[in-house]
Structure 1
Amino acid sequence: LDEKIQNEIKNFSGKVWIYAKNLDTGKDYSLRADEQVRTASTIKLPIMTEVFHQIGQGKLKWTDEIVLTKQIKQGGSGVLSEFSDNTKIDLRTAVNLMIVVSDNTATNLVIDRVSADSVNDFLDSLGLKQTRSLRKIGGGGESKAAQMPLNKLFGIGVSSPKDMARLLEMLERGEIVSREASAEMIGILRRQQHTDGIGRNLLDTVPVASKSGALDRLRSDVGIVYTRRGRIVMAITVDDMPVVHYSMDNAGNELIWRLSLILQDGLGK
């Protein structure tokens, strides 16, 4: 497996980080899996888990209303920036949009509700110390972790492939908040529409629950692939690519896709 992976990445202009594990056999694969990387939008997955945590505690309700003001609108991915000012949405809609279309405005609305520090406290309780929500998209809402000089390099969030894969494993095993909440979160991840990486060409035949991220020279994808040969969690990040562009055939997306196929083949039981 390692030989195939190394063969795939040897001509790639950029850095690659990987962690993958077959949950049904325990077999895994690591490449710089404990190193911290920029998350881009994959941080929206841990943010979602904290919403479910606070719902479970009774601090929030799915019907809580959020007013979409001009000031809160954030460009980039998503649709809420196109909605009329003062439109009202509920918390469930914001969470769904944050994951399914990676909506940046929805993400900032959610962070305003739960706080980046609360996300990080919950991650601590799960033993995921490498992962931190740092701030809102576009700035503001900084967590304590964002004050650390090293974390200034990471943008909206920082994690490691192993942490992200562990979070997905806990979700799949029904260990985040409750079995029902975990299943609901997996369901949202399965509806995610940015499937240029792990989920490319798989959606019709192999179910995938995933969250991707894209930012300048970085592409990232974390997900569970439900293969016939086992449930495989994987977290793949590529960064420092020489060219910045946002098309589907971005070299990072294509590499993540090819690596995901090699991992499915190599880790399948």
Structure 2
Amino acid sequence: MTFPISEMDTIAREFDGRMGFFLEDVTTGETHEYASSQRYPTASVCKITVMAELFRQDTEGILSLGDRKRLEDRYSTHGSGQLKLMQDEPEITLRDYCRMMMTISDNMATDLLMETVGIPNINAFLDRLGYSNTRTSVTMGRYHYRMTYQDDLPTNRANDVLQAEASAAGANDYKSISYSDSPENNVAAPGEMGSIMKRMYDGSLVSPEASSEMLEMMKNARDDRMIRRDLPREIIVAQKSGSSGRIKGNVGIVYLPSGPMIVSAFATANSNDVRADEAIAKVCRLAYSAFCPEVLASVTA
């Protein structure tokens, strides 16, 4: 068995924008990659790195996942998640904030955890692992403000209203850092993210216990647009997706009957009419068809 290289590369090459991916069939060791060492904006996929640093600090006794922290009303309510519905400053554990970050992509939980572990510490951990093209450099609030020409505003609930209005009016700055591959943005190389997932799978990301718990959290994510799109519901996927307009990404492990497959894919479209998520889903389908065609047959039957 081997990946259908020509068909997969054609999708990436003809994509109207930038696209890169890394795939590995863990059982056979077979891999295929396309532009996988380049940096791409991640949107919410960067939350994997926040989780990894959180678990590292828990393992080393710097903090505890059981520590409770109050969600103060100074945090921005932007973007995805449910914590923005809370009005009375709830106090929950760091573990539960992480669950919300990884399962429903809660941005308030993410920004609180980024502040807790420290953005410089996230990147220092990535450096120690050898991942120089994967950077988590800004909070999700700042990331979204930059998209709408509002980088000069502090991220808070009052300015969230202005940010939401600007976004609804289509005031998108496609030349902003948020759409770029600058290390000052949240970016990743598909190959490096694939390696992070391989470490998590074999238990060497932080520790075996931490790797196992991180994967369990990722198994509860339910995005169906990319890695999961053509899979039957019974197939387990540990994943984190990212989606911010033209920016799409999906990283995870697909537990196919033939064995686990690591998928790491990112795409940034040149226009709003281009479906970056569709391109990623097509690459994934080709990969599944080569190594485990029966799962696709069960969906189309």
TM-score normalised by length of structure 2: 0.79
The 3 A distance-change label for structure 1 pair 10 and 133 is closer
Structure 1 partner of 2:271: 242
Matched, 1:228 2:231: no
The 3 A distance-change label for structure 1 pair 230 and 52 is same
The 3 A distance-change label for structure 1 pair 28 and 120 is same
1:1-40 to 2 correspondence within 5 Å? 1-9=4-12, 12-40=15-43
1:64 pairs with one of 46, 62, 67:
67
Structure 2 partner of 1:157: 186
1:1-269 to 2 correspondence within 5 Å? 1-9=4-12, 12-139=15-142, 153-154=180-181, 156-202=185-231, 204-243=233-272, 251-266=275-290
SS at 1:236's partner residue? strand
C-alpha displacement of 1:204: 1.8
Indicate the larger mover: 256-265 or 87-96: 256-265
SS at 1:139's partner residue? helix
- Letter of the 2:239 counterpart: S
- Letter of the 1:75 counterpart: H
TM-score normalised by length of structure 1: 0.88
- Letter of the 1:196 counterpart: R
- Letter of the 2:22 counterpart: Y
Q: Distance in 2 between matches of 1:190 and 1:203?
A: 15
Structure 2 partner of 1:143: none
The 3 A distance-change label for structure 1 pair 151 and 7 is closer
| Structure 2: unaligned runs, 5 residues or longer | 144-175, 294-301
Please identify the structure whose Cα radius of gyration is greater: 2
Indicate the larger mover: 151-160 or 253-262: 151-160
Question: Does structure 2 conserve the Cα–Cα contact (< 8 Å) formed by 1:46 and 1:119?
Answer: yes
Question: Does structure 1 conserve the Cα–Cα contact (< 8 Å) formed by 2:24 and 2:32?
Answer: yes
Count residues with an aligned counterpart. 255
Question: Does structure 2 conserve the Cα–Cα contact (< 8 Å) formed by 1:42 and 1:212?
Answer: yes
- Letter of the 1:50 counterpart: E
- Letter of the 1:40 counterpart: A
Q: Distance in 2 between matches of 1:26 and 1:267?
A: 12
SS at 1:243's partner residue? coil
Q: State percent identity of aligned pairs.
A: 27
Q: Distance in 2 between matches of 1:132 and 1:12?
A: 24
- Letter of the 1:71 counterpart: R
| Structure 1: unaligned runs, 5 residues or longer | 141-149, 245-249
Q: Distance in 2 between matches of 1:134 and 1:57?
A: 23
SS at 1:121's partner residue? helix
